[in-house]
Chains A and B, each alone.
Chain A
Amino acid sequence: GAGVSQTPSNKVTEKGKYVELRCDPISGHTALYWYRQSLGQGPEFLIYFQGTGAADDSGLPNDRFFAVRPEGSVSTLKIQRTERGDSAVYLCASRSGLAGHTDTQYFGPGTRLTVL
């Protein structure tokens, strides 16, 4: 079956612009995560959705970052007034939500964001 998909695969923007990154989780998965991976680092948690609501947004670095999941499936990560330090690979992961910690998180291929 289809895995987690993310669009676009690459996004180049200019400092100060607004960007949206999209994640399509595995069908039926209720839990969705966003992570950010900077060069040479492991992924860092940004936000977690259970259904439509953000259950944990403690990883969002500041109020320029916002994410939504209005219908409990597709999620959009929104970054306002982008800065060069926002350049990274943004990863999305989903899990079924049926068994909590024992569910595997399945990752998408990521969106590589470059802020010039």
Chain B
Amino acid sequence: AQSVTQLDSQVPVFEEAPVELRCNYSSSVSVYLFWYVQYPNQGLQLLLKYLSGSTLVESINGFEAEFNKSQTSFHLRKPSVHISDTAEYFCAVIPMDSSYKLIFGSGTRLLVRP
């Protein structure tokens, strides 16, 4: 069985400060890793994903995540956040032996304050 843990339910941060949202997973098989974002009153959107190759992946809006196999982590970072980054962020995995169903963590609410 697989599970995804997001220990921080809420992360408050000031605008232009750096942020890290933590994600750890547990799996007996290899997985693909994802971060989805849900802006207020909007649906889930893919932010970035790791499938293979370079362990550092980036999104178009300045977020990055690094796959660490030994620590089974996929933390999300941004060096300088904006008010518009306020949203719920979900880490998820797809086990490689599955029907490509996403297994989500419980989410982290990022609150960016001016």
**A residues near B, CB below 8 A?**
3-4, 31, 33, 35, 40-45, 48, 50, 55-56, 59, 91, 93, 95, 100-110
Option from B9, B44, B96 in Cβ contact (under 8 Å) with A107: B44
A44 contacts B43, CB within 8 Å?
no
Complex interface: chain A residues within 8 A of B42 (CB): 109
Least CB distance, A29 to chain B, in whole angstroms: 13
Option from A41, A50, A95, A101 in Cβ contact (under 8 Å) with B32: A101
Option from B6, B36, B96 in Cβ contact (under 8 Å) with A101: B96
Option from B32, B49, B100, B102 in Cβ contact (under 8 Å) with A43: B102
Closest residue of B by beta carbon distance from A37? B104
A101 contacts B101, CB within 8 Å?
no
Which residues of chain B (90-114) have a CB below 8 Å from chain A? 90, 92, 94, 96, 98-107
Complex interface: chain A residues within 8 A of B104 (CB): 42-44
Expressed in whole angstroms, the Cα–Cα distance for A41 and B6 within the complex equals: 11
A91 contacts B51, CB within 8 Å?
no
Task: Bin the interface of chain B by size.
Answer: 20 to 34
B101 contacts A56, CB within 8 Å?
yes
Least CB distance, B59 to chain A, in whole angstroms: 13
Complex interface: chain B residues within 8 A of A4 (CB): 43
Closest residue of B by beta carbon distance from A108? B43
Complex interface: chain B residues within 8 A of A33 (CB): 101-102
Which residues of chain B (1-45) have a CB below 8 Å from chain A? 4, 6, 9, 32, 36, 42-45
A40 contacts B106, CB within 8 Å?
yes
Complex interface: chain B residues within 8 A of A3 (CB): 43
Least CB distance, A10 to chain B, in whole angstroms: 13
